[in-house]
Structure 1
Amino acid sequence: MAFKKHVPNIITLLNLSSGLIALIYAFNTDYRMAFMWVAIGIFFDFWDGFAARVLKAQSPIGLQLDSLADMVTSGVVPGLVMFQFLVEIANNRLENVEINLQQENFYIGILPYVGFIITLASAYRLAKFNVDTRQTDSFIGLPTPANSLFIMSLPLISSHSDGDGFVFEMLSNPFVLAGICLLSAFLLNSNIRLFSLKIKHFDWETHKTQVIFLVVSAVALALLQYAAIPLIILFYVVLSLFVKQPV
């Protein structure tokens, strides 16, 4: 049927639609709902490629559309969330610390825009992915969906830390957040080779790393909820360093 060739692209457009909804919530600083819709978008992003393989409906248009959808869901949204989060942190800092007008202009007028480094780095990473033939069975650099979940979890972790403790202090420091933006940009475009979570056909020997990672991640999420997400991303990067990747 001619319709089946459109199924993967429809799923990709559902990813894009989820990203657009997440943008609305991000503009209104509803980080929990923004996170939820990004997670839904990433779910669709996982299955569009699977549908394309099963239905034998892979196409150059599908590849480009997938990256455009990811650019919104996993590029624009996390950049906006970090921008909004930095604005909130700056406002809290101004309320609690006596600073001069020049410092105020820096915290409010300049620093929050550092968040969009994430968006710029995501765009560059997606463009590289589209022309890099080495990334068919693994990734070079942190995938944008993983980076997006990492960034999107930070304001949620901060809001659940009860206003005290080391984690809250770290996530209340705008310079720490700016450093996280730079780290994010580096990981997205680094030469670190990371294993793919997309299972083309189940085989324990071939996919045991993915299965172990998913089981550990599920347990961590059940125990730590949002706080588990940065740990899971770190575990993903570290585990990949010890796994032989296809060249």
Structure 2
Amino acid sequence: MKLVRQIPNALTLTNLLLGTMAIIALTNALVGTAMLLMAGSLVADVFDGAIARKLGIADGLGIQLDSLADMVTFGVLPAMMIFYCGARYGGGTPGQEMIAIFASLSAVSAGLRLGRFNIDVRPREYFWGLATPAGGILVAGWLWAQHTGRDYGFGVADMPWLGVVVPVFLMIAYQIPLKLPGLKSPKAGIITAIGLAALTLLGIVTLGPIAVPAGIVAYVFVGLFNILLKWY
């Protein structure tokens, strides 16, 4: 039984391991490998919390490990992906230095988001602000579109300013108090997960990899719409 209770932490450490390996892969220009490793990290990140809740485990160590692993996989790794996407433009506008600064700031914002999450006492059926894994998925989708050249005429693979726009978007989305549908509520979580999976698959089939970041942006606008409904 004690061994079973360590499964969530083992999955969290798997997330950290795969995220670190993805960083190493990206530094060696193994883009496809890095994205696959990040996908594996995402799966581990989803299931560590799900299994912990199923087993009724409230582990303070697990909470801290989860945020530390997410900081590497969905904070540092996406920042490196942003720079990798922007670096191909050489000495263009914006320059690599500016892209590096904004990419690094997105990682700092992710760290702040995770730190606040650890001490947040509000109900966790919802995400209060964009979750860092969602931000990582957005960046990975952009990298995927650029790496494959499949953006279906949207031109995102050749927009150097995205190296600044994307991290700025993430910095804002991580910090503003958006109430976004989460995956932890037994009923709403299942509906949200199925809906997101269906829309993502449909989008990828029809639009290609660009559907992934587009879906995350739409997800954020759902939160903005919820705020507007409260105001009016």
**Cα distance change of structure 1 residues 163 and 198 upon mapping to structure 2, 3 Å threshold:** closer
Q: Which runs of 5+ in 2 are unaligned?
A: 228-232
How far, CA to CA, are the matches of 1:18 and 1:210 in structure 2?
A: 23
Residue in structure 1 matching 2:168, options 182, 189, 200: 182
How far, CA to CA, are the matches of 1:218 and 1:164 in structure 2?
A: 16
Aligned pairs for 1:103-182 within 5 A: 107-161=95-149, 165-168=153-156, 171-182=157-168
Deviations 1:10-63 (A, max 9, x none): 011111111011111111232222122111101110000111112222211100
TM-score, structure 2 as length reference:
0.86
Paired position in structure 2 for 1:20: 20
How far, CA to CA, are the matches of 2:222 and 2:154 in structure 1?
A: 26
The structure whose Rg is larger is: 1
**Cα distance change of structure 1 residues 164 and 69 upon mapping to structure 2, 3 Å threshold:** closer
Bigger shift: 82-91 or 137-146? 82-91
Q: Which runs of 5+ in 1 are unaligned?
A: 94-102
Paired position in structure 2 for 1:88: 88
Aligned pairs for 1:35-50 within 5 A: 35-50=35-50
Paired position in structure 1 for 2:200: 217
Paired position in structure 2 for 1:231: 214
Secondary structure of 1:142 counterpart: coil
Q: Which amino acid aligns with 2:137?
A: L
* RMSD between aligned residues: 2.6
Q: Which amino acid aligns with 1:114?
A: F
Secondary structure of 1:89 counterpart: coil
How far, CA to CA, are the matches of 1:70 and 1:172 in structure 2?
A: 29
Bigger shift: 130-139 or 12-21? 130-139
How far, CA to CA, are the matches of 1:10 and 1:211 in structure 2?
A: 26
Shift of 1:225: 3.5
Runs of 4+ in 1 over 6 A off after TM superposition: none
Bigger shift: 158-167 or 147-156? 158-167
How far, CA to CA, are the matches of 2:152 and 2:40 in structure 1?
A: 31
Secondary structure of 2:121 counterpart: coil
Secondary structure of 1:2 counterpart: coil
Secondary structure of 1:29 counterpart: coil
Shift of 1:239: 3.5
Bigger shift: 112-121 or 214-223? 214-223
The answer (yes or no) to whether the contact 1:90–1:174 under 8 Å persists in 2 is no
Paired position in structure 2 for 1:100: none
Aligned length: 227
How far, CA to CA, are the matches of 1:116 and 1:149 in structure 2?
A: 17
| Same amino acid, percent of matched pairs | 27
**Cα distance change of structure 1 residues 197 and 163 upon mapping to structure 2, 3 Å threshold:** closer
Q: Which amino acid aligns with 1:15?
A: N
How far, CA to CA, are the matches of 1:12 and 1:209 in structure 2?
A: 23
How far, CA to CA, are the matches of 1:142 and 1:195 in structure 2?
A: 10
Q: Which amino acid aligns with 2:162?
A: V
Q: Which amino acid aligns with 1:181?
A: P
Deviations 1:77-108 (A, max 9, x none): 001111222222225x4xxxxxxxxx8xx824
TM-score, structure 1 as length reference:
0.82
How far, CA to CA, are the matches of 2:209 and 2:150 in structure 1?
A: 14
